[in-house]
Amino acid sequence: METNGWVEVICGCMFSGKTEELIRRVRRAVIAKQKVQIFKPRLDTRSGIETVATHDGLSLVAMPVESVEDMAKKIDPATQVVAIDEAQFFDPSIVDLCAALARRGIRVIVAGLDLDFRGKSFEPVPSLMAQAELVDKLQAVCVVCGAPASFTQRLVNGQPAPYDSPVIVVGAQELYQARCRQCHEVPRER
């Protein structure tokens, strides 16, 4: 008998605990003796090439992939749970892959930023959220005022990055901060 699959999305700003929650769910699946595969975009080398890691140092081995197509080719037919970290770095075809995996009876756990540094939708995560059975939006703590933070502030030389800066710049505390709506700044926003 085929089991039902589904898609879970863990989203929020940087430093909200997305990868930590993904790791927690993966560890529970491993305890349940389920076959799990973890994928990450190859361009994210912050925690090493074959590792997903939290900013606090929790980590699991992951398979780096160049693209959604590359990931699809590497999914073992016996896999029951597919976990994908940093989904915002993949192209929109990840939405169709996740749906196809769920239809095959696979539990898909996806973590990623839902907003870019400008506070705009960061595809493909919002599209994944719309298609998912379960969505958890996590918050961090605003480093300016201590309020709940849902925005990622990018910094350039310690100052808020201008609106026309590149959307994808891989980094951590040296480039980004968690901020609330009131403390989030985007100079020259259009």
Q: Where are the alpha helices (DSSP H) in the chain?
A: 18-31, 68-74, 93-103, 125-131
Q: Which residues contact 156 (CB under 8 A, 6 or more apart)?
A: 162, 165
21 is written with which tokens? 């929650």
Type of residue found at 162: P
What is the enclosing helix (H) or strand (E) of 190?
none
Q: Of residues 86, 174, 185, 189, which has the active-site annotation? A: 86
Q: What's the burial of 100, exposed, middle or buried (CB within 10 Å: 0-12/13-18/19+)?
A: middle
Cα dihedral value 156, 162, 163, 166, nearest 10: -40
Closest by Cα among 80, 85, 127, 125 to 101: 80
- 77 Cβ contact partners less than 8 Å away, ≥ 6 residues apart: none
Q: Can 2 be counted among the known catalytic residues?
A: no
Would you name the residues annotated as active-site residues? 86
